[in-house]
Structure 1
Amino acid sequence: MALTDADVQKQIKHMMAFIEQEANEKVEEIEAKAEEEFNIEKGRLVQTQRVKIMEYFEKKEKQIEQHKKIQMSNLRNQARLKVLKARDDMIADLLNEARQRLAQIVKDPIEYTTLLEGLVLQGFYQLLEPKVSICCRQQDVEMVQAAVIKSISIYKDAVKKNIEVRIDQQRFLPSQICGGVEVYNDNGKIKVSNTLESRLELLAQQMMPEIREKLFGANPNRKFMD
């Protein structure tokens, strides 16, 4: 039985509807899959960028923390240096005050003569030479001569040896120093510096740990006490 034109048209329409439906379903499937893949890719990109951002800020946070530690360390060091400088200034002031007191001692002839006797005699004992020369301030020559005369007899009695002493009249200690003497062996190669400044400096070096402890307290980092 032959199909009429109407039946052919009907079948064509039916086939077109079927094809259109299949196409629509395929489009929906493709769109759904594309949406899914888009969401997956978007999630992956978001997560990747999120990790990068977290790593960036973590790195920045570490840099800031490191910078903060460096700044704090610098501030502590600066504060420590200021404290040390203040302590050194205090000790320097203390030594300057001691020098000023030495100058006052020299103004007392009796006290200064006694001091000179001790400094001269100590020079003799340290050198233990048969011949020595003494250098002093020009204004102290007479007092040093008197100190030498007294010290020679004490030295001879103590070491049972003679000693020849010459006071250098060609070369004098600077007048701006507080006082004291320098004692040399015969050829001048060995010197005992017994000026008041050198004695003060030596005493300050020896007593510096004790001075610091008296002024600033015991040092907790100090392991040895001698």
Structure 2
Amino acid sequence: MFLCTEDEGWGGECQEQLLADINATLRQLGMPEHREPRTLAEIDPPLDPETDPCLLGARLGFYGSEKYQRLADFARHLAALGAVPPADHPYDALAEQRYNDLPDRRLAFDHVIATATGMDTVVLPQQFDEVTYGTDRPVAHGLLVSAHRLRIESVMLGYAFRYADSRGDDWISDSVLDDESFAHLNARIEDDPDVKQAWANEADLCHRLLSAATDVLHSGALGITG
């Protein structure tokens, strides 16, 4: 919010109020406050000198159209039934019900779904398993999600889409994930060019979400869909 000042319609009191609102919610939920970097000098390790701070998280955007709802349907089906849905009809009412009933949200893709389909969803460089919902007070932001979890879930979905060959390797930062949440999931789409093409947009979205999570974790700056 403070690293890029090119957008004259977004700044000053609006930025401060949003940050204060997010931290008020975190406090009410018993979580540490978020400290938003205000200068590039506060980022450690430093960003590449050629990095444009205005482009950090630019891939996040908002993907709430029907086209990207397919990603949410795919994720629910995979988590609930341990299988991938058909590309021509990914929605399954039974899968959605079973997904909502999952007792362990670490086995779900709530962070991906919230980020891909929600307006004003905030991605924070904090680690928590469940998507954090707002309290009963009026808030200026949507759901709060963890960049750590978004990273893990995006990598797993990328593996299921055959975008990557490992469910444990972050292909953007070239690092190994220290997480076993999805070790039980082996389902992947067919290794067929037509099937891969049918899911190409969703695989690309996984890449974008992973890129956004990487930016949040590296910079310490929050990401927000909108």
Q: Which has the higher contact order (CA 8 A, sep 6+)?
A: 2
* TM-score where L is the length of structure 2: 0.22
Greater share of residues in helix: 1
* TM-score where L is the length of structure 1: 0.22
